[in-house]
Every structure is written in structure tokens, then in C-alpha cells.
Chains A and B, each alone.
Chain A
Amino acid sequence: MDQLPNLGREQEMLSAMGLKSMDQLFEDIPDDVRRTEPLPLRDPQSEESILTDAQRLLGANVDLDSRPSFLSAGLARNFVPSMVPMLATRGEFLTSYTPYQPEVSQGMLQAMWEFQTMISELVALPVANVSMYDASTAAAEAITCAVRVRSKRADQPNTVYVSEKVPPHRLSVIRNYTQGVGIKLVPIPHTASGTLDLEAATAAKGSCAVYVEQPNAFGIIDEGLMGLRAVIGDKTSLIVGVDAVSLGVLEAPGNWGADIVVGEGQPFGIGPTGGGPIYGIFACTKDYLRLMPGRIVGQSEDSDGRVAYTLTLSTREQHIRRHRATSNICSNETLIALMGAMHMALLGPEGLERLAMRTAAAAQEAMEALLSVGGVEPLYPSAPVFREFAVRLPIPSKLALERMDKLGVTGGFDLSRWWGDMGDALLVGCDERTSHDDIKKLVNSLESAIAGVTN
């Protein structure tokens, strides 16, 4: 209420307009739809008491940093440098409007353009937009984009092949985005070692696109994917979903034939935040530029010939092209993407490599330690992993997680929540903050959990 500067001055303003009451401002709302009773909501609160309530309610949550935590499943319990929230909450970034007026938005626009540059460098593709909502909507819109580009000349029009090990929540988003526009999704099976079945993938030749993930849902670095381009030929789009951090040590998909790279940007820039706001990355070759979704910033000049930045190629977008637009996306995740750019800029290329090494090393160490526990087996033996790995337990993973939780350890993710036949499989996620001590507690708590059953 105290945020209304004209509170108490209503009569002054009304009489200037020749009006007597606030009600007259709403007399154009017909009686049959007018609300006359007050909203049945709670009393207004002061800033101080809201803060107290927020501390109480949010304090009732168990945050990931309060205990050893191995829950990842596509998000990172990352370390975000302090400079990132400090910069991002400056009013120039936080409260600024969409930069439709480039003359007063150069800082914002240049930051967006530099984000595009970083993503482009990271994935080795020449074009990137200024974010999608998340990895899943990025994947879904990559698929619809690829169909727009490829379908007319495809032997299998409107058909897209998707790795069968794409996590179900992502597949659900993809289905929602593709079901109405006549796109047929065909699963590509995986082998017994958890990697994509390249032989089966030959069926995708002549289709519009193939969507795979590197590393995949089990954290497996699938080297075979680097040969996928040869398998599917050059008329089918290759869309690769990535863990952005992994590109500090893995070959960028743009260098092994990807046309479009998508993925979760969250590890760069922001904590897991209850699942949002996070941001999806979307990069592609120039062939897709004019049919891709999302906002793009281009370099230009002002009327004095000085370098200036502006939103560009907006004729693809809904506010101009309406129902023929390449996407309905309007508001996106710009600020979070810029937080990602700030984070990446602070890391630099060497820092990014170290971050990726730490993440990979933590996963390797945790995996070796867990496999020393009696009855624990790798779900897919001998696969190289990044950030996450899957193990089979001698007891249901749901039960193991409940018992570990009581011992103060968040032990990972019960894979049967994704795939019903994986009741004994546990997905364990690591990150740059995973310590030797965390891993020791993980092992001890799992041993106790298993012992609780057998005793």
C-alpha cells in the first residue's frame, strides 16, 4: 500500500478530470460482471513482517547446502561467484524493460550480445539466441525449428528421432510442443551399455532431425555420438542437448556435426532455485537462423557511425509475424542468461576447464567409493561419466533414499520416478562443491541404509 505514491491524492487528481469518485473510473464495467464485494484475502503486511514470514517458511525447507547432497538430475548445486548477484541486482539489469529502445539500452544489449558470443564459442556454432525458458523447451523448439527447415525435402517428412533415454519430463515438454503440429516422434533405442544404438539410429536417415543428449540422462559420456553424423547423413538435422559445464572438457558438438545445440544454462549463473528461473541455451548454424525461436541481438551503427547494438531479425517473432511466427516466445530468461555470462566471464576458458575437471573428478571419486559398498553395482559398467552416474542397489532406491535422508544425507535421485522398471537404480549427482567428506558421508549412509534392510 505504501508503494502507491498517489495514495491520499485521489480527490485532487479526480477533480482535475472533473470526476468525483474512484468508482467513476470503473463505470464502464457493466453491472452484471462488476465485483462489488472486497477480495477475500489476508491483511496487508509490513516489509518487516513479510521478511519474518519468508524466513520462517523458507527456513522450513531443507536447502541443499545444509547437508551432503547428491541430487542433480540435470541441475547443478553450483557455486555462483558473489559478483554475479551483486551485478545482476543493479537496477540497470534487474528492472530494465525489453530493450526495444536501443539508444537507452546499450549496456543491456551489449551484455546480451556477449552472452551470444560465449554460447557460440562454447558449443562451436555461429549463432545463439538470448535464452529459452529451460533445457526442455529449448529441445522442443529445436525440434520444431528443424522440422520447419528440413521437412519439405525430407524422405521422412515431419519425423524426428529421439533418444529413448531422454528424461520423461523433457519428453513430456517435447510432446506438448510437437503434438499439435503433426510431428511424429520415433524413439532410438540404447544399447546394454547405456549408449545410443548407432545401428538402430540408421533408421533416422532421411528424417527431419535426431535429438540426443551428451552426457545422457545417466551421466554417460557417449563417444559413439561423435560418429552419429556419418550414420544419419547430412540431410537430417543433428540436435544435441548438453550439460554446458561439460564443454570445458568435452569436444563441442558443433565440431562433430551438430546443427543445433541446446541445454540447461543454470550451472552458469544461478542456483537451482526450486527449478526456476533457469535458462535454456539455443545455438545453431546459419541455415537455421531465419527460422529459429527467440530474441537475437546484432551489432550495428548509430547515425554517427559508432558501434551500437540492437535487437534484430524480429520479423521472425510473434509481435510481427503473429500466427506465422517461428515461436510464441516473448518474455524469456534474459537476466538469468546474463548472470550466466557474468559467471562465464569470471571463470574464463581456464576456469571453465577447471570447473569441468572438478565436476568430473568428483563424480569419478564418488562412483568408485560407492562401488566399494557391498551389493552396489554400476548400472552401466565401464562407461565414462560426467557430473552424474547410476548405480544398482541391493534394496529399492526409494527406501535407501528415505533412510539416508534420516541420516542427514540427500543421496541422489530414485530413477524409478522416471522409469518404472528401475526401482533399484540410484542416480547420483556431483558438482564443484562435492567434498571428500561429503563422499565419505554418502558411502557411510548408504552402508547403513542397506544394513537396515538386511539386519
Chain B
Amino acid sequence: MKHNPRLNERIVQMPGIDRIHPLQPDHQVQGLLSIYYEMQEMLAICAGMDAVTLQPVAGAQGEFTAIRCIQEFHKSNGQAHRNKVIVPDSAHGTNPASASMCGYDIIEIPSGQDGRIDLDALRSAVGDDTAAMMITNPSTLGVFERDIARAAEIVHDAGGQMYYDGANFNAILGKTDPGRMGFDAVHYNLHKTFSQPHGGGGPGSGPIGVKSHLSRFLPSPIAARRGREEGDPVGVDDGFWYFWEEPESSIGKVQQWNGNAGAVVRSWAFYRRYGHELERMSEHAVLNANYLRHRITNPVDGQEGTSAFLEGAPASVVKHEFTLNMTPLKDKNGATAKDVAKRLLDYGYMAPTLYFPQIVPECLMFEPTETESKEVLDKFAADFLEILSEDPDTLKSAPHTTYVKRVDEVLAARQLVLTYPFE
């Protein structure tokens, strides 16, 4: 949940984007094409990739699109028999779901004690049937996979492709990139890293970047340009003529038009605000996560509560997020991670992600982003620790101050009142 600049909303209400049809001829949309081109280039640079498409409209669709490209790549090399995709057990649920929709069988490999890839497990999982490995780095525990290059080597040696889930890209921009780590394809979440607002569940935007050997399979079309020639209209007057181009062996379409152009334009405005300083954004996201983790695990002012949790993963530093295992609290007084999350609502906080990743029992995941100030982080840590020492009944019956009290999710699934009952 990061800052969503109001400027971006002002820009997307301009007729030059709101009142544009995706099938207009190139000469009528030179401005939009130039923004697409600039975003493709910027995203390629940030991820160390060679080509980018902005067509996928959500992270999950980006995953699906990249796995489709990898599938066609294998087919074109006479490797259609490769039918397995490897995912760590800490992966986002979309990873196995996306690969499965392409027809792949999923091999889930266990993570090591510290939440990192178990290289031995990976070695025994790969083979002549490996199509790809899907992994996010830093992992969903907020820990950087230091063995990532070795993992990539193992998968590549077996003939597989490496896919980078960019959900956690906010942690590493400018500090490393998936290309260096050995990845062949990556998706970006413009709604996580580049400020497209979440809107209660969407719209998102999930562009993908690929290395050159996969670029000819990208969905159609992508924005391209050439030097402006005599006789060309003036366009955006930057010396180039922009046009839509179909990649040579394109998989076709994954969204019916050119993706969520409105999200692309918002993210373009966000990028322009940072420029080459995008790196500062990641630094501050990581600074905030580590600072909050430190505050929670090293309380000031004699606050108690730290015996109520374990760290989800031991690590000297985390990246943009970290996890806590609330099992000790549950053992002590029966209050669950969910109860703690609900009590945080009373204090005016949006609760952390709950029970994910599944490999951490009673998991709470904290991702403050670069947007929160030091004061907010200090106050949050103090309130969080306060909650852990509260009467367990107060937690179990939380929230107390919200518009409605705890909502019965089981009843919702049993009675299934999904529309207004007019009769």
C-alpha cells in the first residue's frame, strides 16, 4: 500500500487517454505510443531484460503470459515434452495456478529452515521434463535468496527457464535485477511498484519482461519506433515515429486490446517523478521494513510482548517485508494471528497480510513500504506490542470500534446471499 499520487488521476482523465480507442491508427496515438515505448524501455532497464510487453493486466496474467511464451519457446526447440513447472512452497498461489492453466504439472519444492531455496531439493526436482521454475526474490518471507544464481544454473543446466515473480520488485530496484540473477522472464506489478492504485482489488497491470530468446513470442502488439522520416507527420516531435508491431512468433492476445493503458499512464507519471532515483524508493521501502522489524523485536520504554512471537525467518537484514510467527502467543493465551490482526483495526491500522506464506505458522506479514513515516512506524510498533500484552478476550472479540464487529465468514459461505433478495 504505497502513495498513489493525485497527479496521476488528473492525467488519466485527460481526453488524450480517457477518450482513446485501442484500434485507432498509429498516427492518431503517437503520444500514447511514445509513453508505451518509454515504459517498455524503463521496465526493461530496471529488470535487466531485453523486451517488454505492457499487455497483461494483472500480476497473475503476467505470470500466465510469460509461461505461455516459455511454452512456445520449448515447442519451437522440439522440447514440447517438458511438462513440469517447479515452484517453492513459499510461492504466491498465483504461480502454480498460472502454470497449471497453461497445462503444466506443478512440482512444489520445500524451502529450507530459513525460508530460502533448498538447492538439494531443487537438484532432485529438475530433469528433462522441467519447463521452468517460478520464484520470487526476495522471497515471500522478505529474505533475499543468496543462492539465486546457483538455482538458475541448476534449472538452466536441466534445460528449463527461470521465471521471476515481480511482486516483490519494490525491494530491489536499482540494487540488483532479475537479469543479473539469471532469470529469463519477469513480471512487474505496476499496482505494487509503480503506484497504480489498488482500487479494492484492481485494476492492476502486470507487464512482463523477457530476455531476447523469448521476445519473438510476446503478445501482440508492442510499441516500436524508428527514426522520423521526411513526410512523416510531426508526431510527438522527438525525432521518432512510433507504431504498433506484432512480434514474429507472437502467442497472440491475453487481453483483447493493449493492456490497461490507464495504469500504464499513471505509472509513467510516477516513474517521471523519480527518474534515475527510483533506487531511493527501494532503499526507503527496505529501510522502513528493517526499522519496523527492529522496533518490534527490540522494544523501547520497557514494553513487553516480544515473547509472543518468533521471527518467520532468521536474517540479519530483511528486504521490503518480514514475517512473524505468532504461535507463542496462541500457546500462551489462545489468541491467534487473526485476533491480533483484528485488534490492529481498532487502533486504526490496516491489518498485515494474514496466514501467508503458509510455511510460517500463525503468520503475520508486515510490508510498510516507503510511504510510512518514522513516527507512524514507531507508533505502530508500540501499539502492536501493546496489543500482545492485552487481555486475550479483548483480542478474540476484536474489533470493537469498527463499523461492524467481527464478520462471520462461515455464515456467508453457508447462506450464500450473493445478490439483493428482491422477493
Bind each other: yes
Interface residue ranges of A386-409 to B (CB < 8 Å): 401, 405
A85, A95, A120, A336 — which one has the most chain B CB atoms within 10 A of its CB?
A95
Binary flags per residue of A58-69, CB closer than 8 Å to B gives 1, else 0: 111111111001
A56 CA to B408 CA in the complex, in Å? Answer: 52
A333 within 8 A of B: yes
The reply to whether B31 and A272 form a contact with Cβ atoms under 8 Å apart is no
Per-residue interface assignment for chain B, residues 58 to 79, with 1 indicating a CB less than 8 Å from any chain A CB and 0 otherwise: 1111011000100100000000
- Please determine whether A116 and B201 come into contact, CB atoms closer than 8 angstroms: no
A331 touches B60 (CB 8 A): yes
Q: How far is the CB of B71 from chain A (nearest CB, A)?
A: 7
Q: Kindly identify which residue among B256, B317, B356 contacts A74, using a CB–CB cutoff of 8 Å.
A: B256
Kindly state whether residue A443 has any CB partner on chain B within 8 Å: no
Cβ of A85: which chain B residues have Cβ within 8 Å of it? 13
Q: In the assembled complex, which residues on chain A have CB atoms less than 8 Å from the CB atom of B341?
A: 101
Contact B294 A103, beta carbon cutoff 8 Å: no
Q: Which residues of A contact B180 (CB under 8 A)?
A: 32-35
- Contacting residues of chain B (181-198) with chain A, CB-CB under 8 angstroms: 181, 189, 191, 197-198
CB distance from A427 to the nearest CB of B (A): 10
* A416, CB-defined interface residue at 8 Å: no
CB distance from B180 to the nearest CB of A (A): 5
Partner-binding segment picked from B98-106, B224-232, B302-310, B327-335: B98-106
B362 interfacial by beta-carbon distance below 8 Å: no
Which of A95, A272, A274, A330 is within 8 Å of B94, CB to CB? A330
Among A72, A112, A331, A338: residue with most chain B CB under 10 A: A331
A35 touches B175 (CB 8 A): yes
The interface on chain B, measured as residues whose beta carbon lies within 8 A of the other chain's beta carbons, has a size of: 151
Say which residue of A47, A75, A300 sits within 8 Å of B273 (CB atoms).
A47
Tell me if A255 is interfacial: C-beta within 8 Å of chain B: no
> Please, which residue of chain B has its CB at the minimum distance from the CB of A313?
B413
Residues of B within 8 A of A177 (CB): 101
Q: B162 in the interface, Cβ–Cβ < 8 Å?
A: no
Residue of B14, B103, B104, B177 near A58 (CB, 8 A) is B14
Binds A, one of B120-128, B208-216, B285-293, B386-394: B285-293
Q: Does A179 contact B (CB under 8 A)?
A: yes
- Once the chains bind, are A300 and B19 in contact (CB under 8 Å)? no
Please name the residue on chain B nearest to A41 by beta carbon.
B276
Q: Which of B5, B206, B283, B371 contacts A22 (CB 8 A)?
A: B283
A310: contacting residue among B99, B277, B412, CB under 8 A: B412
Q: Out of A95, A133, A277, A417, which one reaches B4, CB within 8 Å?
A: A95
With A1-B280, A7-B280, A25-B317 as contacts: A300 and B419 at CB distance below 8 Å: no
Distance to closest chain B CB from A378 (angstroms): 22
Kindly state the separation between the CA atoms of A38 and B403 in the bound complex, as whole angstroms: 48
Residues of A within 8 A of B148 (CB): 33
- Check B316 for interface membership: any CB of A closer than 8 A: yes
Expressed in whole angstroms, the Cα–Cα distance for A325 and B351 within the complex equals 25
Q: Mark A1-26, 1 if CB is under 8 A from B, else 0.
A: 10111110110111011000010111
Q: Is B252's CB within 8 Å of the partner chain A?
A: yes
Q: A16-B295, A134-B57, A275-B256 provided; 15 other pairs, C-beta below 8 A?
A: A35-B176, A61-B28, A77-B21, A94-B199, A113-B419, A276-B257, A277-B203, A296-B418, A300-B411, A301-B411, A308-B408, A317-B93, A320-B93, A328-B60, A333-B202
By Cβ-Cβ distance, the 5 closest A-B pairs, closest first, are A275-B257, A180-B103, A58-B16, A335-B199, A274-B261
